[in-house]
């Protein structure tokens, strides 16, 4: 081992884990790497939270990207794992959103070419003091003049007529043969605006280029006709019309953008309030009132979604049913209130000991259900840890003898014990029945049913 690699191992525990996993392919090391990078998944998923998709689904897709990153990362390439993983996580989420989305976008090549033409046109206008010709734009971009003209014509074809175009004015595209002195004099009324609107308009005009400013100020504020502007600026009258339309279109975009920003601020405030109320309503319909955990209906729906995701990405899932042993004896001894308090305490133990990606819910009065994505038979390790924590817990502080509360678990693994949510839950129930029949306080993996 050279000095550089030794320094890396000593200073970067994550790199050391990755190198160890690359050498041994130990699932425990893989799980540790994933656990240590869960925060990155949630951080990246939050960037997409306003796409209309549930944040939980975005996080789940991000975890898939993280798992793929761990499996495909090459420790010898010299790329930081955080950089590689973040690209995989973001890519998985974006791929999911593309599959769910229904937007129609303009071709990427046309968008890029339009952006380049706009940028070069503005630069040339500043340098030349006038609007550049298609030939000048083509020369600056090192493109055929015909191609630039075609793009400019395409813009006009798809431009929607609006109030920016004076009534009765025909599209000329710069090819009219009329002389400026033969055109009728057209006077524009001076805008009658409030002080606030005038200030907003002046700020917007300042964002135009030099030629567009002259045309706007001359036509609307100095009462010059198009013919007079054409003579003053050295353009054709048709080109003045083109400049006016373009400047008005840009002014409209600028003013609308400012108005949209204000509306978006108001909408964000309103959305925050609505989201708060919607969340309260949703929480009341998917949460168990006593424990605050998800209710049975919600968990089973989530299980169906996790199975669909597992089919798509060839992942593991485990389902655990956990039963509180001796709960009826405890209730008979100390009453309903103490029994409910004990259930709440056990729910907190399960919640605190589960991973962020797990789905925990209350299945019925004395049972809980735990869905473990990306987890196979090793789910028994987690269930055993939960059982030990409950067994060590004292549920009453009084000195009188107490009924002993313990936890039994039945575990079913996707594909091995079933391929639908109904089959997996039924297999977990059978395993739980075996655990209870053997005296409780134990964890049992389901035995696959032989299909005839």
Tell me which of 358 and 108 has the higher pLDDT: 358
351 Cβ partners below 8 Å, 6+ apart?
A: 293, 360
Phi then psi for residue 382, to 5 deg, are -65, -45
User: Using CB atoms within 10 A of its CB, is residue 369 exposed (0-12), middle (13-18) or buried (19+)?
Assistant: buried
| 181 and 275 both lie in a single domain | yes
DSSP three-state, residue 119:
helix
Asked if residue 110 has pLDDT above 90, the reply is no
Residues 351 and 219 in one domain: no
Residue-level pLDDT at 284: 65
Same structural domain, 169 and 69: no
- Is 27 part of any domain? yes
Within-domain flag for 132 = no
Based on the domain organization, do 316 and 247 belong to the same domain? no
Based on the fold, state whether residues 245 and 370 are members of the same structural domain: no
Per-residue pLDDT band at 358 (split at 50, 70, 90): very high
Instruction: Identify any residues that bridge with 444 across adjacent strands, giving them in sequence order.
Output: 410
Position 165 scores a pLDDT of 41
Q: H or E stretch including 233? A: helix 226-233
Residue 374 domain flag: yes
* Lowest mean pLDDT segment, chosen from 82-96, 104-118, 405-419: 104-118
Q: How many CA atoms lie within 13 A of 322 on its CB side?
A: 28
For residues 315 and 389, state if they share a domain: yes
* C-alpha–C-alpha distance, residues 274 and 264, integer Å: 14
- Same domain (yes/no): 359, 440: yes
Q: Final residue of a domain: which of 258, 286, 314?
A: 286
**Last residue within a domain, chosen from 265, 286, 307:** 286
d(CA 346, CA 291): 9
Measured CA distances, 161 to 165, 291, 444 (Å): 7, 61, 72
Single out the residue in 232, 266, 286 at which a domain terminates. 286
How many domains, the chain? 3
Q: Which residues contact 305 (CB under 8 A, 6 or more apart)?
A: 57
Structure confidence by residue, pLDDT tens digits, 85-95: 988 898 888 88
For residue 231, the enclosing domain spans: 163-286
Do 279 and 366 share a domain, yes or no?
no
Say if 145 falls within a structural domain: no
Whether 150 is covered by a domain: the verdict is no
Separation of alpha carbons 274 and 226, rounded Å: 51
Q: Check: pTM over 0.75? Answer yes or no.
A: no
- CATH number for 191: 1.10.10.10
Based on the fold, state whether residues 305 and 438 are members of the same structural domain.
yes
133: in domain: no
pLDDT at 230 over 60: yes
| Domain assignment of residue 119, yes or no | no
The secondary structure of 275-338 as a DSSP string is HHHHHHHHHHHHB-TTT-SBPHHHHHHHHHHHHHHHHHHT--EEEEEEEEETHHHHHHHHHHHH
Residues 317 and 404 in one domain: yes
26-40, 117-131, 184-198, 253-267, range with the lowest pLDDT? 184-198
């Amino acid at each position: 081992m050279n000095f550089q690699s030794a320094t890396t191992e000593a200073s970067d525990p994550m790199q050391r884990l990755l190198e160890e996993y690359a050498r041994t392919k130990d699932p425990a090391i893989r799980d540790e790497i994933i656990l240590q990078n869960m925060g990155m998944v949630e951080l990246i998923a939050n960037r997409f939270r306003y796409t209309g998709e549930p944040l939980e689904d975005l996080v789940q897709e991000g975890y898939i990207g993280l798992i793929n990153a761990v499996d495909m990362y090459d420790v010898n390439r010299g790329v930081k794992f955080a950089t590689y993983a973040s690209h995989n996580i973001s890519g998985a989420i974006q791929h999911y959103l593309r599959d769910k989305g229904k937007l129609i976008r303009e071709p990427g090549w046309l968008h890029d070419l339009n952006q380049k033409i706009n940028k070069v046109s503005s630069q040339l206008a500043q340098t030349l003091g006038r609007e550049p010709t298609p030939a000048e734009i083509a020369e600056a971009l090192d493109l055929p003049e015909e191609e630039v003209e075609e793009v400019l014509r395409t813009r006009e074809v798809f431009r929607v007529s609006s109030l920016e175009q004076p009534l009765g004015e025909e599209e000329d595209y710069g090819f009219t043969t009329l002389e400026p002195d033969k055109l009728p004099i057209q006077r524009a009324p001076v805008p009658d605006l409030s002080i606030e609107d005038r200030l907003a308009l002046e700020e917007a005009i300042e964002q135009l280029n030099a030629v567009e400013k002259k045309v706007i100020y001359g036509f609307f504020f100095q009462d010059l006709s198009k013919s007079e502007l054409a003579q003053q600026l050295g353009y054709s009258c048709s080109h003045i019309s083109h400049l006016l339309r373009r400047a008005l279109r840009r002014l409209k975009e600028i003013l609308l953008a400012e108005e949209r920003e204000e509306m978006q601020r108001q909408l964000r405030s309103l959305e925050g309030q609505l989201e708060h109320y919607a969340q309260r309503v949703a929480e009341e319909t998917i949460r168990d009132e006593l424990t605050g955990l998800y209710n049975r209906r919600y968990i089973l729906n989530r299980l169906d979604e996790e199975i669909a995701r597992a089919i798509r990405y060839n992942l593991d899932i485990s389902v655990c049913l956990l039963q509180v042993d001796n709960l009826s004896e405890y209730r008979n001894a100390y009453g309903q209130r103490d029994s409910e308090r004990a259930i709440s305490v056990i729910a907190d133990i399960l919640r605190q000991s589960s991973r962020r990606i797990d789905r925990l819910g209350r299945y019925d009065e004395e049972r809980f259900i735990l869905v473990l994505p990306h987890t196979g038979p090793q789910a028994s390790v987690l269930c055993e840890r939960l059982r030990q924590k409950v067994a060590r817990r004292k549920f009453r502080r009084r000195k009188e003898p107490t009924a002993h509360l313990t936890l039994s678990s039945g575990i079913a693994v996707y594909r091995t014990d079933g391929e639908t949510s109904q089959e997996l839950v039924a297999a977990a129930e059978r395993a739980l029945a075996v655990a209870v029949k053997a005296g409780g306080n134990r964890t049992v993996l389901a035995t696959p049913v032989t299909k005839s």
